[in-house]
Amino acid sequence: VIVTLLKYGFEDLVQRLEFPGAELLKRSAKEGKDVGTYVRVRHILEDLGPTFIKIGQIMSLRPDLVPPDLLKELSKLQDQAATVEFKIISSIVEKSLGGSIDDFFSDFEKTPFAAASLSQVHRALLKKEGIKVAVKVRRPGIRKMMEVDLDILNVLAERLHERSNELKIYDLPNLVKVTRRNLLKELDFTREARNIKIARSYHSEVYIPEVLMDYCSDRVLVTEFIEGIRLNEIEENHLGDPYTFARLGLNTAIKQILEDGYFHADPHPGNIIYSIEKGLCLIDWGMVGRLTERDRYDLIDLIKAIVEKDSSLLMETLLRMTVKEREVDDRALERELAENLDMFFSGPIKELNIGHLLLAIVDVLREYRLKLPPDLVIMIKALVTAEGTARKIYPELNIASEAESYIKKIASKRFRAEIVWQGIKRAFSKFLSIQKDIPVRFLRIADKIERDELGIRFRHENLESLNHTLENISNRIAFSVIIAAIVIGSSMIITTGIGPFIFGFPALGIIGYLISSLLGLWLIVIIIRTKKY
């Protein structure tokens, strides 16, 4: 990792990491200094291999943490890998199924039609069902390799967190912990199988391939194979009206987010296929997002505030949706949101690109240290991706007008009598459960007061630097007092004329002067070096 960082000119970062022997590696060749920093970051991830490529792809879904220009570079990461020989693949499949491939498949293509860093996919024909399927097989040894890479990444994250004040706000160790959990989840194909089953349970105009659960395991995923072409190839193949396909794809994403609360996290063109038999099909359900009913209602208010250009409602909704890391200047935040709304509403509503506006709002939230829950961030990125995918096919498509019918539908549902009544019953039930505990809690407090055991606990925050400064000051004062004492003592010895003598002066006095001079000089050097003067 250190060699790769040096190779692409990140000497400052290596210096901060303070690894023993890193200085010896600085002779490594530097490449790409003439290209931008973010391009070099992408090259580093590609050079470091599968784990780091997947981490880059996951981070490309987090506009709350990653600057827009870096997001663009991360989205270019190529997840390609050499194929694993069929002998190894067949042994994994047979071990998973508990029998020979010939027992379950009447045909199984030896050459994969897709290969990535985590898995490769083969076409096959199920013997019992007679269905053409896609068999996704996890690469051997990939889990162990990822765990080692993530351990290394954790060490780097902890060192950077300790040594870089500007990176502390990102809490890199926790970020690596969350990434580890998500990556290891993605390696378990039973999760993707369940994701597909849940997605199929919702009514959708877009087809989702069937998953064959009886043939799936944590290392093997078997789904219905879809013959078709990618979404962005529809127009050039003259297969239908681009507007119809673009609108259908975008409406599916909006429905999943606003109505179902269960959505595909990465609806880019490669994951949307057009089949003559099935129509539009959404594949690759490794990453999904979930939204609660409350999340969806907040999102409705967010879109409503944007469409109505209401910066006050927008600010209130965002404050409700986020977690504060520090006190927020409400007026400054509202002003900045209003500026963003003005900028994006400079043209007609039809031309409004809500995806760009949402990313700009995420930038503002990052500046004010307001944290959105991960699923809401992933939802924003999914919405941006869906809008971008649809506009590649039909550039005039507008997400605001497409979302309008869903917003009205959910808003009317929100205030239906039975929904309101259910909310009242829930709130009343919660109140009843709390009020049962109130007398007991009051008695406990009264008992503690009576026994003089009631205490108030204080917690200081961010005083470590002040403590450190005071400690330095007190140390220097004490040191200065000692030097002054040596000077005074030496002067008294010289005036009294107590022997032995050096050059006619008392030796102890001369030695005292020398010691105090050296200590004083050392103190001056320390002060100048630390620039604390």
Give catalytic residues, as residue numbers. 266
Amino acid type, 385: T
Burial category of 267 from C-beta neighbours within 10 Å (exposed 0-12, middle 13-18, buried 19 and up): buried
Instruction: For 281, list phi and psi in degrees, rounded to 5.
Output: -125, 135
Longest dimension (CA), the chain: 113
Amino acid type, 329: D
DSSP 57-93: HHHTT-TTTS-HHHHHHHTT-----PPPPHHHHHHHH
Cis, bond preceding 500 (omega within 30 deg of 0): yes
DSSP 390-454: HHHH-TT--HHHHHHHHHHHHHHHHT-HHHHHHHHHHHHHHHHHHHHHHHHHHHHHHHHHHTT--
Which residues are within 8 A (CB) of 296 and not within 5 positions of it... i.e. 6 or more apart? 257, 258, 259, 261, 410
SS3 128: coil
Instruction: Output 399-405 pairs: Cβ under 8 A, ≥24 positions apart.
Output: 399/250, 399/254, 399/352, 399/353, 399/354, 399/355, 400/303, 400/306, 400/307, 400/349, 400/352, 400/354, 401/349, 401/350, 402/247, 402/250, 402/251, 402/254, 403/254, 403/258, 403/303, 404/307
Burial category of 418 from C-beta neighbours within 10 Å (exposed 0-12, middle 13-18, buried 19 and up): exposed
Burial category of 417 from C-beta neighbours within 10 Å (exposed 0-12, middle 13-18, buried 19 and up): exposed
For residue 490 the two structure tokens come to: 């030496």
Residue in the structure block whose two tokens are 């977690």: 323
Q: Pairing relation of β-strands 272-275 and 323-324?
A: unpaired
Q: Are 261 and 382 in contact (CB under 8 A)?
A: no
* Helix axis angle, 374-393 to 242-255, nearest 10°: 170
